[in-house]
Amino acid sequence: MAESVIEEVANEKEITSLNKAAILLLSLGKDSAAKVLKHLNPREVQQIGSAMTSVENVSHNDIQRVMKSFLNELGEDALGVDPSEYAQSLMADALGAGGGHLMDAALLGDQVKGLEALKWMHPSTISNMLRNEHPQVVAIVLSYFDSDQAAEVLRGIPQRFQAEVIYRIATLTTIQPRALFDLNDVLENASSDGEGGKLATIGGEKRAAEILNLVGGGVDTRILDDIAIEHEDVSKAIQDKMFVFDDIAGIDDRGIQTIVGEVPNEILIVALKGADTALREKFLSNVSKRQADIMRDDLETGGPVKLSAVEEAQRTIIQTVRRLADEERVMMPGGGEEFV
């Protein structure tokens, strides 16, 4: 009995939150799953859609953990569907006739237009589209994206343009609405009503810093060094606004507890694999004794983890910290008013 419990707990750790969501949607049926997808943003739909096409070897125990109430309604085949075919059909039902093409990174036909349509595409496809565009065009597009998506696209454009694009993002603070409309037309051959009006706020040093925070792999340092050759002041201003994983050590204990409550344990463990002892202890001292003991055991006895996986986990936590700071649930180190 004890061995079966241990095995079940071990298996529990193997299913990521994303795969759990994929299994749940694969199990719900297209009508119900489509209704769920309609409430997600493009980035989330892409992630879950990709996960649904790649899940394999799903057992009844996996599904029982994800959605126990449906276990008895499933046949001997745990899923009863071909994941790739099901996901394509589900996207079409959820997002309209063009939705099925989301999986191969094509635009959604008349469902979305221009800049918004790009959000539905795979970052590598966007990078290929932008690789021959003027850096100013690339800067506007990346400023329009969420920071994590912008960082992925930036990694895919030619290295010789990356610093120029970040510099232009940092120095781009406003843009005429007509310019956005024209860019929208070029990207999706669509028209937009309206002209004039107030300048649209876009870009800026903080925006550039947010994107560089999520690029990782030493690319951020190289880009800042390249910018500093001709624009040292801009490079320094961007760097001053950047927030890296090690900076979490400056967040107070209450903030760390809030972060821990928002980050899945498996992601936190991987992120801490690349952290120094002081930061590890900062997190371990802000969880229960039992959880701290389990985390210490995982950190000490767990196998080696790829550096890319550690960086990805740390970027996920950085995004969480920024969101919590925007929600005023966490005070960033060195800035803002104190909470009372």
In this structure, what token pair is assigned to residue 159?
């290295």
Interstrand relation of 174-175 and 200-201 (parallel, antiparallel or unpaired)? antiparallel
Judge contact between 173 and 237, C-beta under 8 A. Answer: no
Mean pLDDT value of segment 76-97: 55
| pLDDT for residue 74 | 45
Mean pLDDT value of segment 124-133: 83
Long-range contacts of 217-222 (CB under 8 A, 24+ apart): 217/155, 217/308, 217/311, 219/154, 219/155, 219/162, 222/163
Residue tagged 């550096």 (tokens): 307
Q: What is the mean pLDDT of the chain?
A: 74
Mean pLDDT value of segment 99-104: 40
| pLDDT for residue 84 | 54
34 vs 238, higher pLDDT: 238
Residue 214 has pLDDT above 60, yes or no: yes
What is the C-alpha separation between 54 and 83, in angstroms, rounded?
A: 7
Q: Which percentage of the chain shows pLDDT scores above 70? A: 69
Residue 315 has pLDDT above 80, yes or no: yes
Domains of the chain: 2-111 (no CATH), 114-241 (1.10.220.30), 245-326 (1.10.220.30)
**pLDDT, tens only, 264-310:** 999 999 999 988 899 999 999 999 999 999 999 988 888 888 988 89
Where b means 16+ CB within 10 Å and e means fewer, 141-164 reads bbbbbebbbbbbbbbbbeeebbbb
| pLDDT for residue 184 | 66
| pLDDT for residue 111 | 38
Residue 140 has pLDDT above 70, yes or no: yes
Mean pLDDT value of segment 4-10: 42
Q: Label residue 51 by pLDDT band (50, 70, 90).
A: confident
Where b means 16+ CB within 10 Å and e means fewer, 189-214 reads ebeeeeeeeeebebbbbebbbbbbbb
Residue 323 has pLDDT above 60, yes or no: yes
**pLDDT, tens only, 104-125:** 333 333 433 566 667 777 888 8
Q: Label residue 262 by pLDDT band (50, 70, 90).
A: very high
| pLDDT for residue 69 | 39
| pLDDT for residue 254 | 92
Predicted TM-score (pTM) of the model is 0.42
Dmax over CA atoms of the chain, in Å, equals 72
Residue 192 has pLDDT above 70, yes or no: no
**pLDDT, tens only, 240-260:** 788 878 889 889 999 999 999
Which helix (DSSP H) or strand (DSSP E) does residue 200 occupy? strand 200-201
